[in-house]
Amino acid sequence: MAKKKAKIQENPMENEAVATPQPITETLEKNYMPYAMSVIVSRAIPEIDGFKPSHRKLLYTMYKMGLINGGRTKSANIVGQTMRLNPHGDASIYETMVRLTRGHEALLHPFVDSKGSFGKHYSRDMAYAASRYTEAKLDSFCHELFSGIDKDAVDFIPNYDNTMQEPTLLPTTFPNILVSPNLGIAVGMACSICSFNLAEICDGTIALLKNPKTTIDRMLDIVKAPDFSTGAEIIYDREQMRKIYETGVGSFKMRAKWEYVKKEHCIDVLSIPYSSSIEAIMKKTTEMIKSGKLREVNDVRDAIDLNGFKLTFDLKKDADPEVAMKKLFTVTELENNFDCNFNILVNGTPKQLGIREILTEWIGFRVGCVTRELNFELGKKDEKLHLLEGLALILLDIDKAIRIIRNTEKEEDVVPNLAAGFNLTKTQAEYIAEIKLRNLNRQYIINRVQEIETLRAEIAEIKETLKDELKLKAKIIATLQEVKKKYGKPRLTDIVEKTDAPAVREDIFFENYNCRLILTRGGYFKKLSVQSVRAADEQKLKEGDFVIYREDTDNRGDVLFFTDKAQIYRAKVDDFPLSKASQMGDYVPSKLGMDDDEHVVGCKMVYELDPSHHFVYIFENGKGVRVNLSAYEAKSRRKKITGAFSSESPLAGVIYEGAKPANIFIRTDAGRGMLIKSSLIPVKATRTAAGIQIMKLPKKGVKVDLATDMIDDIGQDALKCKKLAIPSTGSPLGQLTFNF
């Protein structure tokens, strides 16, 4: 698209030239999109070889420096040399190298053999030393990265100033993309690739090479789960892992490994999840100890030494280590999730792939590398064979060759004369002409010529391999088996079945005791201790207010508050402090952050929502409905449920119906009441159903103003209002006495 020039126009107000604003679409197209693609392709997302450009440039520089076989050199020297390929500053290059080192412990199979302080992956504060103090070389494992790189296995491109060549990819002999973990944030996309066990990945790749239709279930049996350098445990959910293997997206839960040291009465954490840090764990633990929610622990200390990682929790005298660890798992990074997002670059195009698709792409890449290596070797052997075949021709008459050279007057005529004398090509004649005089003897020539048959056999074998895909794959399989045998290690991350690691309940943090819960019509909530209940003091209430809910329970459950806006709010009983009869209690709308004009109509304490139980809603228009608690099931424990019941008419009261039908007393503001069994009210499938008419209202303006199951507060006279069928007009209350 032709580049538009900014138009300059006269501004009459300021009498100066002003540029016409560039349209946002043009800005995005010309400026932002190239930047975004550069970040995706050249910075943040790894290619099929498992490396980002910064990793590849560093490792190739070290390879060219001879550090794969030689001794270590100062890191500063490596950083300086790498800047010939990666001109982004020495600090970023050194940080890249730090992550690849053995000392940093971020990789299952480190690429850099390091000496000195390189920090630790599991610590944010343990800083690495400056590059002038540390030393490094390539680990012997890197032989598997550069195998075939000098045999035209991959393409090379000029560096940024066109002074040297660098590889576009490294010809890795194993699927490094799934062995080395990779995290990256690009523009509009990100990648989060976990590491897998090298031996398992080799076996999985071999299975796919032998049978391209290998199923995900079979792959799950071979490549069991991710494996991390920090160890820890994976809480294994096969269906969850299947999703990750199929789509490349998902998450799994990890937990730290720990042991109880009985002699010292402490807990030693021996490894933590890969995405956790020791500082975050210690900070949260300290906060919990200070707040009194972690009463089992006295102190936490960093016990890392030369033997490796250790985080110690000193327990109080009678503390239960199991309870302490359950609490720590719940609130600290000793347990967390690893989120997977397998975005990789394939031929320069970002793709989100599952495990099988990634391995399939790698197999295609590796077949290409091996094919190029074989073609390179074939060319070299053909060239050598051609030269030796020429040498064989002069074996027939060595004296003639010497005579031709001796009798040639000009140097430039030696090669043409030899070629003409023995019917040689120019290349063969050049080779023979360069042979030293001392080697122009029968023994030397016979020894060299004997290689011809070997070369012909090797060339035939290479050509046969190039023609046969199965033989190509067999060659790759043999290499993978060798890599597995040489570098394979046992798993560091243990697999724990989900059933063996049950979820931790939040109520483990709460101090449990018996209490009485009270809610008033005005929205005041009290939690009374047993001592306050026994004192039998009169409850302090606002003038005209009265109790609409009372229940003796304990401190472990949740309280559900029902409002006149058809919403349910959830809070922990433990969220409310102990109160006294002489106190008003907490004003629920303020405590739970309700809307300004929202009021509480009822509440109920629950431990879990039993799907066989019901909520019974009675509305001001005389209608009622029973809703099964299964209608409120959700994956998360939401603090607020909107549209929890019908909003067609204001709510007069809500009653919890357990295993047995509840007795419900309903009253109108016109002085009539009725007592019914909740079983008379039909159950509706949807929670927002308006229900059926329960109480007939005699005239417009009359409404139900109370619905409760607190029959004891009404007294025996309530039985006079008992009804066996609905709808009903109810009975006149007259002189009926009750405490509302």
| 133 in catalytic set | yes
Structure tokens at 230: 């920090």
Where on the phi/psi map is residue 585: left (φ > 0), alpha (ψ -120 to 50), or beta? left
Q: How far apart are CA 198 and CA 108, in angstroms?
A: 8
Burial of 62 (0-12, 13-18, 19+ CB in 10 A): buried
Burial of 323 (0-12, 13-18, 19+ CB in 10 A): middle
Strand pairing category for 683-684 and 623-628: parallel
Provide the H-helix boundaries in 434-468. 442-449, 451-467
Q: How far apart are CA 692 and CA 646, in angstroms?
A: 12
> Angle at the Cα of 488 (from 487 to 494), degrees rounded to 5?
140
Structure tokens at 377: 């070797």
Q: How far apart are CA 345 and CA 352, in angstroms?
A: 9
Q: Which of 51, 325, 316 is nearest to 177 (CA)?
A: 51
Say if residues 386 and 451 touch (Cβ distance below 8 Å): no
* E strand or H helix that includes residue 234: strand 233-236
* E strand or H helix that includes residue 569: strand 568-572
Q: Which residues pair with 115 in a beta bridge?
A: 135
Structure tokens at 443: 């023994």
> Angle at the Cα of 59 (from 55 to 65), degrees rounded to 5?
150
Say if residues 514 and 556 touch (Cβ distance below 8 Å): no
**What does R_g of the chain's alpha carbons equal in angstroms?**
40
Q: Which residues pair with 137 in a beta bridge?
A: 113
Q: How far apart are CA 73 and CA 726, in angstroms?
A: 92
- Tokens 């075949």 appear where? 389
Supply φ then ψ for residue 413, to 5 degrees: -95, -5
From the list 32, 133, 160, 513, the catalytic residue is: 133
Say if residues 447 and 108 touch (Cβ distance below 8 Å): no
Structure tokens at 491: 């798993």
Cite the active site residues: 133
